Amino acid sequence: MNLQVKPRSGPEAASGDAGGGIRVSGATVTYRNGHRALLDASFEIPTGTITALVGVNGSGKSTLFKAIMGFARLARGEISILGLSVQEALKKNLVAYVPQAEEVDWNFPVLVEDVVMMGRYGHMNMLRIPKKADHEAVGAALARVGMSDFRKRQIGELSGGQKKRVFLARALAQDGRVILLDEPFTGVDVKTEDAIIRLLIGLRDEGRVMLVSTHNLGSVPEFCDRTVLLKNTVLAYGPTETTFTRENLELAFGGVLRHFVLGGDSLHDDADPRQLSVITDDERPLVMYGAKGQMVSQPAKPESDPEAAGK
C-alpha cells in the first residue's frame, strides 16, 4: 500500500502560512520539582498538515502536548493555536487529544459510546444532556473508525488497537480542528496502524492540523508532511523530506543510523530505509524499527549479529 504524502496544493500550502496552525515560540516548561523539560522550543505548523513529533524517551514530547493543551504552564514563551491563545482555543473546543494508553484508567466502567460522547461535552450546556446532533456525531465518529459494533461494550474490554480507535472517535466527535495524538501506533497491529494513517490523511485533507508523537520512525515519511525533532528543545523542524534526515535523527537520538536488510546478513548504510533500521551508539541499539515502522523491542546486538536482529 502506498501512503506516500502528496504535497498539498492550494494557497495555504503554497504560502506555508502557520498563522492558522500551531505556532510555538520560545516555549519553556519547568516542572514543580525544578526539572526543565522544555527549553526555548519554537516551531510552526500550518493547517492541513500532519506533523510528526519525534524524540527519545524523556525528550519532552508529552510536555509539549501538555503545554499546547494548557495543562503545563509556560515559564517563558508563547503558543498560539489557529491564531488564538491556548485558553481561547480550548474554550472554543478546537483542540482534541488522543492520549497514550497508560494515561487512561481502563477499569473505569464506561461504555464505548459514552467515551466518544465525552468529545461532545464542549458542545453541550452545563447539564450535559446530549441532543440529536450529539448522538449523530457519536454514531458518525464510531462508524468512521470502524467501531460501530462495539458501542455498547465496556471500554476496558477492548483490545489496545480498539481502544485507540475509540479515542480517535472521541476526537472526531469533538470535531477538533487541531488533533494531538500521543503515540497512536503503540501496541496496535499493522492493519490498525494503516487504518489510523488513512484516517489521519482524510482529516488532513479536511484542513485539520495534527501533531503526532511517534516512535515508529519508519512510517513518518509515509504520512507526515512535516517533522519536529525534539530533544529538550526543538532540534529541527520543517518538511519531512528536509528534516527527517540521517544527520538530524542521529542528533535527536544521539547515535548512528544504520539499516539492516531483513533476513539478510549484511549491514549497510544505504539500504532501503523501509528495512530494519537501528540508531545505535555502537554499544547498544537505541531505537529500532522495522519495514512498517513497527518498533522492535530489546533487539539482539546488531553489530555482532545483524541477522539475528533482523528476525
Chain residues binding ligand ATP by CB under 6 A are: 31, 33, 35, 37, 55, 57-63
Query: Closest distance between ligand ATP and the C-beta of residue 59, in Å?
Result: 4
Q: Cell 510552526: give the residue.
A: 44
Q: Tell me the closest approach of the beta carbon of residue 186 to ligand ATP, in angstroms.
A: 9
Closest to ligand ATP by CB, 60 or 255: 60
- The candidate with the shortest Cα–Cα distance to 95, out of 73, 79, 113, 112, is 79
CB 66 within 8 A of CB 30: no
Distance CA 310, CA 302 (A): 8
Buried b (16+ CB within 10 A) or exposed e, 50-63: bbbbbbbeebbbbb
* Residue nearer to ligand ATP on the CB measure, 82 or 179: 179
Find the shortest distance in angstroms from Cβ 242 to ligand ATP: 23
CB of 55 to ligand ATP, least distance (A): 5
Nearer residue to ligand ATP within complex by CB, 119 or 184: 184
Distance in Å, CB of 30 to ligand ATP, minimum: 9
> Is the Cβ of residue 62 or residue 174 nearer to ligand ATP in the bound state?
62
Residue 29 or 145 with smaller CB distance to ligand ATP: 29
Task: Report how far residue 62's alpha carbon sits from residue 104's, in angstroms, rounded to the nearest whole number.
Answer: 14
Distance CA 23, CA 209 (A): 12
